[in-house]
Chain A
Amino acid sequence: MTDASDAPIPGAPDPRKEIVEHLPAMRAFAVSLTRNASLADDMVQDALVKAWSNLDKFKPGTNMRAWLFTILRNTYYSNRRKAKREVPDTDGVITASLSRKPDHDGRLNLMDFETAFEKLPEEQREALILVGASGFAYEEAAETCGVAVGTIKSRVNRGRAKLVELMGMSQEDAFELTDPATMAVVSSMQNGSL
Chain B
Amino acid sequence: MSQDQPSNRVDDLIDQNLRRVYDDVLQEDVPDRFAKLLAQLERGSAPEPADAEGSK
- Decide if A98 is an interface residue (CB 8 Å cutoff): no
Name the interface size band of chain A.
Answer: 35 or more
Question: Contacts A23-B30, A133-B15 given: A48-B2 contact, CB under 8 Å?
Answer: no
B-contact 0/1 string along A44-61, CB 8 Å cutoff: 111011001100000000
State whether B38 touches A19 (Cβ < 8 A): yes
Look across to chain B and name the residue whose beta carbon is closest to the beta carbon of A170: B10
Chain A positions within 8 Å of B50 at CB level: 41-43, 45-46
Stretch with Cβ within 8 A of B (4 or more), from A2-10, A64-72, A86-94, A108-116:
A108-116
Some 22 contacts from A to B, beta carbons below 8 A apart, are A24-B26, A27-B30, A28-B22, A28-B26, A32-B21, A42-B50, A43-B50, A48-B37, A113-B17, A114-B21, A128-B18, A129-B22, A131-B2, A131-B4, A132-B18, A136-B2, A137-B3, A137-B4, A138-B4, A160-B14, A174-B13, A175-B9
10 closest A-B pairs by CB: A133-B22, A42-B50, A28-B25, A174-B9, A45-B50, A132-B18, A133-B18, A174-B10, A132-B15, A113-B17
